[in-house]
Amino acid sequence: MQHKPVLVTRSSLPDLEEYVKEIKPIFDSAWLTNMGPVHQKFEQKLENYLKVPNVSLFCNGHLSLFIAIKALRLSGEVITTPFSFASTTHAIADNGLRPVFCDIDPDTYTLDPQKIESLITRHTTAIIPVHVYGNVCNMEVIESIAKKHNLKVIYDAAHAFGVEINGEGIGNFGDVSMFSFHATKVFNTIEGGALTYRDKALKDLLYNLKNFGITSQTTVEDIGTNAKMNEFQAAMGICNLRHVDDEIKKRKRIVERYWEHLENIPGIKLNPQQQGVKTNYAYFPVVFDEKAFGKSRDQVVDELAKEKIFVRKYFYPLINDYECYRSIYSSKATPIAKEIADSVVTLPLFADLELNIVDEICEIILQ
């Protein structure tokens, strides 16, 4: 085929002139970081866009999740999903806590709430579910379990920027939600992340924890870290926020095209459209049932690669199969997650992906 290599995603960028205009005041003032005026302006704009009362910005999604866990003073065990990016579990383990893996729901790939309660022990202090691919977790059941057992809930909403449920911003649920603004996400600040939460009292603590725990020039109250979003990242965020709705519209068109080709094909399972959910079309996962489809996921990946289409197996391997965890855990304990991890690919999806490339991708898959 005549096209350039097609990767799983491609960062959305504003026009160069637009970004230059946005960073000009940073050059004029020489205030580059440490929660400057652009950072503050962006934080407010995000509160509006995400329809949440409080946003705190960070240099990336991972450190924001790490700090959320620290801020809630969790201890002991945390129930989470193995079907995610490394960040989710690493943030728990790096806080000195024990991740406890719960299996996932076979339709949404999010934590299966029916399996949570049997994993709760007297050491459990929190649940960290993931809105994986932007699919919304069963928050009602998760939060009723949390309430019953007095557990905190932190949602890893890295994939869920702009997602709403029944008109409400997804960042309003649980104790805290974490968003990633990495270059590969629907909305990016180059690198970046944010926490959203209803409890205003968290604001100062989060501010201090991302700035070494410093509370004044002569007081350091906590063992914090450096996780501040700088002014150039915030400026990129302000620019990209102007265009994100258009980007999501373009993604929708691509997703619809994939559906036109791949719906109702035996052995192919597409990502569910959830009722009441305004989605952001973050990823396009496809699960292959080798018996019904006739080819395995890995064969499909290889065939596409021959045509310079480089899909990704998000999220394979499962986290409980990672070298750094597998001596303590077994993926046999989470069989549904294992099955999905072994049979899923995420197809290329980004705003400027041409529809004829989508047609080609589907043609190769269906041949």
Site for ligand T4K, rule CB under 6 A: 7-11, 60-62, 84-85, 87-88, 130, 156, 158-159, 180, 182-184, 193, 314
**What's the min distance (Å) between Cβ of 57 and ligand T4K?**
12
Distance, CA of 255 to CA of 6 (rounded, Å): 16
Please name the residue ranges forming H helices in the chain.
16-29, 37-50, 61-71, 86-93, 139-149, 202-209, 231-262, 290-293, 297-306, 335-343, 355-366
Nearer to ligand T4K, 221 or 246 (CB): 246
Nearer to ligand T4K, 190 or 293 (CB): 190
Distance, CA of 293 to CA of 47 (rounded, Å): 45
In the bound state, the residue with its beta carbon closest to ligand T4K is 61
Nearer to ligand T4K, 8 or 277 (CB): 8
Distance, CA of 172 to CA of 221 (rounded, Å): 28
- For tokens 């080709």, what's the residue? 261
Nearest by Cα to 77 from 117, 127, 113, 142: 127
Residues in CB range of 90: below 8 A, 6 or more apart: 62
**What's the min distance (Å) between Cβ of 148 and ligand T4K?**
26
**What's the min distance (Å) between Cβ of 4 and ligand T4K?**
12
Nearer to ligand T4K, 181 or 293 (CB): 181
**What's the min distance (Å) between Cβ of 93 and ligand T4K?**
14
Looking at residue 329, the DSSP 8-state letter turns out to be -
Nearer to ligand T4K, 9 or 125 (CB): 9
**What's the min distance (Å) between Cβ of 59 and ligand T4K?**
9
Query: Cβ distance 126 to 79 under 8 Å?
Result: yes
Distance, CA of 10 to CA of 258 (rounded, Å): 18
**What's the min distance (Å) between Cβ of 330 and ligand T4K?**
22
Nearer to ligand T4K, 142 or 293 (CB): 142
C-alpha pair distances (Å), 236 with each of 9, 21, 87, 168, 230: 18, 11, 23, 25, 10
**What's the min distance (Å) between Cβ of 192 and ligand T4K?**
7
**What's the min distance (Å) between Cβ of 216 and ligand T4K?**
29
Angle among Cα 35, 37, 38 to the nearest 5 degrees reads: 90
Nearer to ligand T4K, 87 or 196 (CB): 87
Nearer to ligand T4K, 230 or 293 (CB): 230
- For tokens 């990495």, what's the residue? 182
Query: Cβ distance 279 to 134 under 8 Å?
Result: yes
Question: What 3-state DSSP class applies to 247?
Answer: helix
**What's the min distance (Å) between Cβ of 263 and ligand T4K?**
25
Query: Cβ distance 139 to 166 under 8 Å?
Result: no
Nearer to ligand T4K, 69 or 293 (CB): 69
Nearest by Cα to 295 from 285, 307, 304: 304
Nearer to ligand T4K, 152 or 182 (CB): 182
Looking at residue 3, the DSSP 8-state letter turns out to be S
Tokens of 351: 């705003």
Nearest by Cα to 225 from 67, 33, 72, 68: 67
Query: Cβ distance 6 to 353 under 8 Å?
Result: yes
**What's the min distance (Å) between Cβ of 130 and ligand T4K?**
5
